[in-house]
Amino acid sequence: MPEKTTDPADLRGDCAQCFGLCCVALPFARSADFAADKPAGTPCSNLRDDHRCGIHARLRQQGFTGCTVYDCFGAGQKVSQVTFGGRDWRGAPKEHARRMFDVFPVVRQLHELLCYLTEALGLPAAAPVHPELRGALEHTERLTRQGPEELAALDVAAHRQEVNVLLLRTSELVRAGATGKGKGKGKAKGKDRRGADLIGARLRGADLRGASLRGACLIAADLTGADLREADLIGADLRDADLTDADLTGAFFLTQPQVNSARGGAGTRLPASVTRPAHWTAAR
Ligand code: SF4
pLDDT in tens, 159-210: 999 999 999 999 999 999 876 555 545 455 558 999 999 999 999 999 999 9
Ligand 1, atom 5, lies closest to the CA of 23
User: What region, left, alpha or beta, does residue 144 occupy, with left being phi > 0 and alpha being psi -120 to 50 degrees?
Assistant: alpha
Would you state the pLDDT for residue 9? 79
Task: Confirm or reject: Cβ of 53 under 6 Å from ligand 1.
Answer: yes
Domains, the chain, with CATH or none: 8-175 (no CATH), 185-284 (2.160.20.80)
Ligand 1, atom 1, lies closest to the CA of 46
Confidence of residue 1 (pLDDT cuts 50, 70, 90): very low
Would you state the pLDDT for residue 2? 40
Task: Confirm or reject: Cβ of 46 under 6 Å from ligand 1.
Answer: yes
Structure-model confidence comparison of residues 232 and 190, the more confident one: 232
Yes or no: say if 245 and 226 are a contact pair by the CB < 8 Å rule: no
Yes or no: say if 83 and 147 are a contact pair by the CB < 8 Å rule: yes
CA of 194 to the centre of ligand 1 (A): 33
Q: Which amino acid makes up residue 196?
A: A
Task: Confirm or reject: Cβ of 65 under 6 Å from ligand 1.
Answer: no
Distances (CA, A) of 160 to 119, 163, 214, 215, 253: 16, 5, 15, 14, 14
Q: Nearest-5° angle of CA 67, CA 73, CA 79?
A: 100
Task: Confirm or reject: Cβ of 44 under 6 Å from ligand 1.
Answer: yes
Task: Confirm or reject: Cβ of 19 under 6 Å from ligand 1.
Answer: no
Surface-to-core class of residue 119, CB atoms within 10 Å of its CB (0-12 exposed, 13-18 middle, 19+ buried): buried
Would you state the pLDDT for residue 183? 52
Give the number of the atom of ligand 1 that is nearest the alpha carbon of residue 38. 5
For residues 66-82, give the mean pLDDT.
95
Q: Which amino acid makes up residue 57?
A: A
Task: Confirm or reject: Cβ of 79 under 6 Å from ligand 1.
Answer: no
CA of 39 to the centre of ligand 1 (A): 13
Greatest distance between any 2 Cα atoms in the chain: 61
Q: What pLDDT digit, counting tens, does each position of 237-247 carry?
A: 999 999 999 99
| Residue 130 three-state SS | helix
Mean pLDDT of all residues belonging to the chain: 92
Give the number of the atom of ligand 1 that is nearest the alpha carbon of residue 66. 4
Q: Nearest-5° angle of CA 52, CA 55, CA 60?
A: 125
Share of the chain above pLDDT 90, in %: 87
Q: What is the DSSP code string of 57-114?
A: GGTTTTT-HHHHH---TTHHHIIIIIITTT--STTS-HHHHHHHHHHHHHHHHHHHHH
Does the pLDDT value for residue 8 go beyond 50?
A: yes
Ligand 1, atom 4, lies closest to the CA of 67
Secondary structure letter of residue 55 according to DSSP? T
Does the pLDDT value for residue 94 go beyond 60?
A: yes
